[in-house]
Amino acid sequence: MKKFDPHNRYIELPVRESTTLMEFMLKQMSGTSRNRVKDLLRGHAVTVDRKLTTQYDAKLEPGQVVQIRRHKQNVELTNRYVKLIYEDKDLVVIEKEAGILSQGVSPKQYCVKTVLDEYFRRRQFKCTAHVVHRLDRETSGLMIYAKSVEIQQILEEDWHQIVYDRRYVALVCGRMEQEGGTIRSWLHEGRDFTTLSSPVDDGGKEAVTYYHTLQATDDFSLVEFRLETGRKNQIRVHMKDLGHPVAGDTKYGNGRNPLGRLALHAYKLNFYHPRTGEPMTFETPIPRQFLERVKSANPDVNEDVNENES
């Protein structure tokens, strides 16, 4: 059996028996701690059959080859608009900031896809980012990008079965009259590309939004949304229908823009992995700006609203 030589740039090790990547690395790298192994994995220093692997519990089978670099690679994704939350060989989950498109109109237009493509290129991986779903330019939050057409198609074709919990939070104008409820309408696109809403079926696409008021003041309310359908501008149009447009929404709003951005954030994304079926759960904190706005209007705001920031 080869010993791990810390002076080598990397070492290739054949897998002789079924095991997990963590146990394999601990056995091959005698004296190395679990934290060091996880650090190498997070630092993109490990490949299995020449494919980057970051999951310590990845299954290994006889005949596979593990390559371990002595140092983690300096290929971290550092971008003001895109934060990498999770990555495996099939997909990435990112958090998008407001101000960047999910996908550009032209191939060279700056967007999340071009940021990810450059990240993959620096890692010398022969893959590109494939858009599965979109967020508006001024909406922030969690998104999935596939690394192959195969995974993209699986996600797109079975989206509503694969994604089992997807939620948004928004700062909306005025005090919500109800703690929660359901908004149902039929949406279609007008000639000016604005989404129009009808309370009855007029040939448009049915849209269903569930909402729950987290905190309400006279000026603004913090509201959580869960979508049964995923129509274009659905939350924004439905909140206009209720008379409480999303703050900062110049298209469907009333001009109130206290944060200098659309106050809508996709904060929760739970789905079954398209290849393994494993439940994947992701949640980001409610944006501090949203919380501070309702707290500034009401200093006695319930601190439980802020529990996601811990």
| Residues recognised as catalytic | 136
DSSP string, 155-209: HHHTHHHHEEEEEEEEEEES--SSSEEEEEEEEEE-TTS-EEEESS-SSSEEEEE
- How long, in residues, is the chain? 310
Tokens of 31: 């004296």
Closest CA to 295 of 211, 225, 213, 220: 220
Paired residues of 209 in beta bridges: 183, 227
H-only helix segments in 43-187: 112-122, 149-157, 159-162
Tokens of 21: 């990547």
CA distance 89 to 158: 20
Closest CA to 117 of 104, 130, 106: 130
* Rg of the chain on CA atoms, in Å: 23
Residue pair 182/241 in contact (Cβ under 8 Å)? The answer is no
